[in-house]
A = this chain, B = another copy of it.
């Protein structure tokens, strides 16, 4: 296909008429599809259906370690489930706390505690500082930014490169003592799918922030969420930090939300023993213990970490064709037009799509008006502001393949319409 920028105004107008006619055809179909969130499909949830059989009145709810999971106790989690998730996050058992069903909630709690109480090594609660700031690689995870904005923490955009956050920018900003931390999704990053390169991770380990209580919020949400047999490899930041005697600088988060049940998985935070002890003292004020029945169900179903790894191959078998279908349609419909580029992730839950500058909102709006809901344009940026109005996050997991084909074709059509409109406006 020829690049749209080479079209004459008359050709663009003609093309727009054709595209709009096609678009009205989609509108007439009364679609109702949702590609807005990284939500697993029913097929994926069914992979864990056997977990529902792991507790029963006859099997009981006493763990292998002899804990009655029905009663109070063990704030830090069942020993066997700490081991399971410690293996997944590559930390020691005493470096992990297994919480409720949401790693997002654990991140929120870490931030909330930091504000009201400080972290290990803080002089005072963060909320007592005149202003604090967080570094936000963009595009990034909208819910990270929502937490930060909610608490009135000033967000600073850091550009994402194909190998992770721009570390020159990161190193520059951490010289400011009011910069207290950075959000990272280091593997199959949300939404770009980028896995941080060894060079980037090594520079994180060498960071010397002015704030002594600086924290890297290392949200390893997709640590084993490979789409292909050969997954990306992420250097072990925690190990590198230990070599630097800086292991207190990171909070590592993970969950089984995209392994077992999205709404009823297990979440965990891993950190240095200094951090864990400090957190546990605060968490003992907050609650008595988390739901150990759910913990027991997980450990009975998966057994050990090798069970989780084997299970993830089944997820990949469902997800891979969806990603490939979207990528094929994007290539087929848009290649050569020179109006967009997109990522081809080897894991995780998202494709990150870049329209020509100024076209993202219009594209998302066109899709919505034809019944396909995408993540709001700008959502992957602090304050919802994409400076170039070009980024769109595509989440292919929830629709069926058939729905996805329809949605992806409509999406491409919307991209073309928005692009042509944009070129026409610019030509005026």
Residues of A within 8 A of B (CB): 37, 39-40, 42, 45, 48-50, 52-53, 55-57, 59-61, 68-73, 100-102, 104-105, 108, 112, 115-117, 127, 143, 146-147, 150-151, 257, 261-264, 282, 285-294
Q: Are the CB atoms of B57 and A56 closer together than 8 Å?
A: no
> Contacts of A59 on B, CB cut-off 8 Å?
52
Q: Are the CB atoms of A55 and B57 closer together than 8 Å?
A: no
| CB contact under 8 A between A105 and B285, given known A116-B127, A263-B73 | no
A69 CA to B108 CA in the complex, in Å?
23
Q: Are the CB atoms of A264 and B285 closer together than 8 Å?
A: no
A68 CA to B57 CA in the complex, in Å?
23
Q: Are the CB atoms of B69 and A264 closer together than 8 Å?
A: yes
Q: Are the CB atoms of B37 and A285 closer together than 8 Å?
A: no
Q: Are the CB atoms of A285 and B116 closer together than 8 Å?
A: no
Q: Are the CB atoms of A70 and B262 closer together than 8 Å?
A: yes
A71 CA to B292 CA in the complex, in Å?
19
Q: Are the CB atoms of A288 and B102 closer together than 8 Å?
A: yes
A290 CA to B102 CA in the complex, in Å?
8
A36 CA to B200 CA in the complex, in Å?
51
Query: Which residue of B has the minimal Cβ distance to A39?
Result: B72
Instruction: Say which residue of B37, B39, B150, B262 sits within 8 Å of A282 (CB atoms).
Output: B150
> Contacts of A105 on B, CB cut-off 8 Å?
286-287
| CB contact under 8 A between A72 and B263, given known A52-B57, A57-B52 | yes
| CB contact under 8 A between A71 and B116, given known A52-B61, A57-B53, A127-B127 | no
